[in-house]
Every structure is written in C-alpha cells, then in structure tokens.
A = this chain, B = another copy of it.
Amino acid sequence: MTDAFSAAAEPTRRRILQLLAARPRTVSEIAADFPVTRSAISQHLLVLASAGLVEAEKVGRQRIYRVLSSGLQDLQAEIDRFWTHELDELVADAHALRREDT
C-alpha cells in the first residue's frame, strides 16, 4: 500500500498521524492512546512509513516517530488532485440549498 491516500484513510492511522502531528512520540506513547496492542500500532507505523508519511529516529532503546512533512505534502497534493473543481462546486450547491431551507 504505497498510496498515501489509502494509507491515511484507515481510522487508526488517521489518528496516529494527528497524534504525531502534534508532537513526535515513541511507539509506546502512541499505543497508550489505542485499545489495540503495541504490535498492531507498530505495523500501522510501518504502513505509514512505507507511504512516506512518517519516519523513526532511534534514540537509545526508543524509536521516536515523527511526521514527514514532505510525505504530508504529497498526501495533500493527492487529496487536492482528487478534490476536483466539480466536487467543490457540488459542495457549494449543498451549502446554498441549506441556506434556502431556513
């Protein structure tokens, strides 16, 4: 799964990215925020890393994960490429309709 969009879509990984965006964290720190095992988190991090969204820095016996801003940029570009002008116009229509309802 090299596709950043698909990698980031998974709910657990979405939250991991948000946590890491706030500040870099160790694996255990991240895992503490989730009901699943550390192993599961570790594997999610692997997916995110292979999509170029995070990287790990080895410090002592810890691995500090951080978001890779370059990968994040790619993700944003991918989202933007998906979100065409036509899609944007349709959302604008929805807003307009809601305004008429009042």
Q: B18 near A11 (CB under 8 angstroms)? A: no
- Copy number of this protein in the oligomer? 2
Q: Which residues of chain B come closer than 8 Å to A94, judged between CB atoms?
A: 69-70, 72-73
Q: A69 near B86 (CB under 8 angstroms)? A: no
* Contact string against B for A residues 39-76, beta-carbon threshold 8 Å, 1 for contact and 0 otherwise: 00000000000000000000000000001011011001
Q: Considering the chains assembled together, what is the distance between the CA atoms of A69 and B88 in angstroms?
A: 9
* Contact string against B for A residues 64-102, beta-carbon threshold 8 Å, 1 for contact and 0 otherwise: 000101101100100100111011001101110100000
Q: B17 near A9 (CB under 8 angstroms)? A: no
Q: B17 near A6 (CB under 8 angstroms)? A: no
Q: Considering the chains assembled together, what is the distance between the CA atoms of A72 and B98 in angstroms?
A: 14
Q: Given the known A-B contacts A22-B86, A97-B69, are A91 and B79 also in contact in the complex, defined by CB atoms under 8 Å?
A: no
Q: B90 near A69 (CB under 8 angstroms)? A: yes
Q: Which residues of chain B come closer than 8 Å to A91, judged between CB atoms?
A: 69, 72-73, 76
